[in-house]
Amino acid sequence: MKLYNTLSRSLEEFHPVVEGEVRMYNCGPTVYNYIHVGNARPLCVFDTLRRYFIYKGNDVKFVVNFTDIDDKLINKANQEDTTVKEVAERFIKEFKTDANGLHLYDYNTMNPRATEHIQEIIDFIAGLVEKGAAYESDGDVYFKVESFTEYGKLSHKKLEDLISGARVDISSLKENPADFALWKKKKEGEPYWESPWSEGRPGWHIECSVMAKSLLGDTIDIHSGGEDLQFPHHENEIAQSETLNEKPFANYWLHNGMITVDNEKMSKSKGNFFTVREVAEEFDLEVLRFFLLSSHYRSPINFSRDVMVQTKNSLERIYNGRDKLVDLLEVTKEVELSDKDREFLNSIEEEVKFFETSMENDINTADAITAVFNIVKKINTGLNENSNKKIVSSTFDTLLKLTKVLGILEMSQETDIEVERLIEERVQARKNKDFNRADEIRQELLDMGVVIEDTRAGTKWKRA
């Protein structure tokens, strides 16, 4: 597998620290609000990478953290006259609702909270102070960026430019304007913890370094997130982690491109800011996941309602292919494989190879999806009631295996259960000659995007 490493600005062959084991850390949400579609992209992309590693037989340890103490949470709590903990609990719960809709929880993902690691954070900071790489100033503790000679190696920014350009906070408490906070002394009314320097709380950057070290070790395989996190967040993580541990923090840094909305940068001021929850009001979130995987992860991607409608229609083609296989499994017979059967299986296997080659070429999910569509096309043109059940079954298993990597074909079974319930009600209505109700149910199903067909074998249904 080759991955584009932001650190080297090049495609590199992936070699994990431990063969057969992959340790990944993806920066998760600051839980003061609902996540937006931009937040969802790295979550879906790097979850797909995780799924592929598992598909290839690796043991994957994957961390997506919750930042549950931060200025944004404090401000939100003050606005709502509540506590930071209550804000965090509420939006962690809301995040999990969205995450389930995006199919981010089919394998065990670790979701540590910063507040669960306060003592480890204090110990980490104390280690940096002892090394002379951090200093206390009026209860705050700052990392001394000049102590890390490679500062800027990820973002390719020069320290002198950062200082002269005043792109960082200027504070009389700092020795250098580029120094960043590891520990912040409490202000009136803020939550705090006891530390050797003051009653206070951790800075943002230190939280991820500590959680990664605690759960994955000193050197991890992959650290990922949106490209907007390269600087200062990831740059600062590298500086403090590699200073304390005296070894590489992450061997591969992966960053996804940004999302525009109707070809404009997404922002609240422009009124084109969409939360995942708002998208869910009109579309199943699997459609959003499929959309986010439809372009290469490092490319910018444009979000719009029209594109989402197109994506929904495309996804339904895959569902219809799956549903056809389900129907054929009921009517086909198992016989010896013919030369034609073997030829069909070989053509499916070629698509599997294309899928794997695409995924191993820097997570090219767009091409991987093409392989899935090619299989669906072969299902529609090459299989029917007279096909060999062995071929139908093998193709079905292959389709599910590949779509499992992408995290699709997993829409809530509750929808299918409701469809079956309505169909059964319609059958009974027809038996009772209540044709008005039968017509109403047909329309209800159409409104749900379901088309029904009355056959001798019973009522069949498929997504429109």
**pLDDT value, residue 413:** 52
Question: 317-329: buried (b, 16+ CB within 10 Å) or exposed (e) per residue?
Answer: ebbbbbbbbeebe
Summarised one tens digit per residue, pLDDT across range 10-52 is 999 999 999 999 999 999 999 999 999 999 999 999 999 999 9
**pLDDT value, residue 161:** 73
Show binding-site residues for Zn(2+): 27, 208, 233, 237
Task: Name the percent of the chain lying above pLDDT 70.
Answer: 95
Q: How far is CA 153 from CA 30, 157, 235, 253, 340, in A?
A: 26, 7, 8, 12, 56
8 A C-beta contact, residue 224 and residue 255: yes
Give the Cβ contact number of residue 130 at 10 Å: 10
pLDDT at 460 over 80: no
Joined tokens for residue 71: 């200025």
pLDDT at 276 over 80: yes
**pLDDT value, residue 170:** 59
**Section 173-201 average pLDDT:** 95
Q: How far is CA 392 from the centre of its chain?
A: 32
**Section 85-108 average pLDDT:** 90
Per 3-state DSSP, what percentage of the chain is helix, strand, and coil (rounded to 5)?
50, 20, 30
**Section 394-402 average pLDDT:** 97
**Section 321-326 average pLDDT:** 94
**pLDDT value, residue 169:** 54
**Section 287-295 average pLDDT:** 98
> How high does pLDDT run on average in the chain?
93
Show binding-site residues for ATP: 268
Lowest-confidence region among 193-202, 246-255, 337-346, 412-421: 412-421
Question: 254-271: buried (b, 16+ CB within 10 Å) or exposed (e) per residue?
Answer: bbbbebbbeeeebeeeee
* pTM of the model as a whole: 0.88
At 167, is the pLDDT very low, low, confident or very high (cuts 50, 70, 90)? Answer: very low
Q: DSSP 3-state assignment of 316?
A: helix
Strands 140-143 and 134-137: antiparallel
Summarised one tens digit per residue, pLDDT across range 135-144 is 999 999 999 9
Sign of CA dihedral 169, 173, 177, 181: negative
pLDDT at 333 over 90: yes
Strands 259-261 and 21-26: unpaired
**pLDDT value, residue 23:** 98
8 A C-beta contact, residue 46 and residue 289: no
180: left (phi over 0), alpha (psi -120 to 50) or beta: beta
**pLDDT value, residue 24:** 98
Domains of the chain (ranges plus CATH)? 2-256 (3.40.50.620), 305-406 (1.20.120.640), 417-463 (no CATH)
Q: How far is CA 418 from CA 4, 133, 283, in A?
A: 44, 61, 17
One-letter amino acid for residue 125 of the chain: I
Higher pLDDT, 74 or 464: 74
| 440-448, long-range: CB < 8 A, 24+ apart | 445/419, 448/415, 448/418, 448/419
Task: Name the percent of the chain lying above pLDDT 90.
Answer: 82
Show binding-site residues: 27, 208, 233, 237, 268
At 309, is the pLDDT very low, low, confident or very high (cuts 50, 70, 90)? Answer: very high
**pLDDT value, residue 166:** 43
**pLDDT value, residue 236:** 97
**pLDDT value, residue 262:** 82
At 340, is the pLDDT very low, low, confident or very high (cuts 50, 70, 90)? Answer: very high
**Section 186-199 average pLDDT:** 96
pLDDT at 165 over 60: no
Lowest-confidence region among 41-55, 256-270, 351-365: 256-270
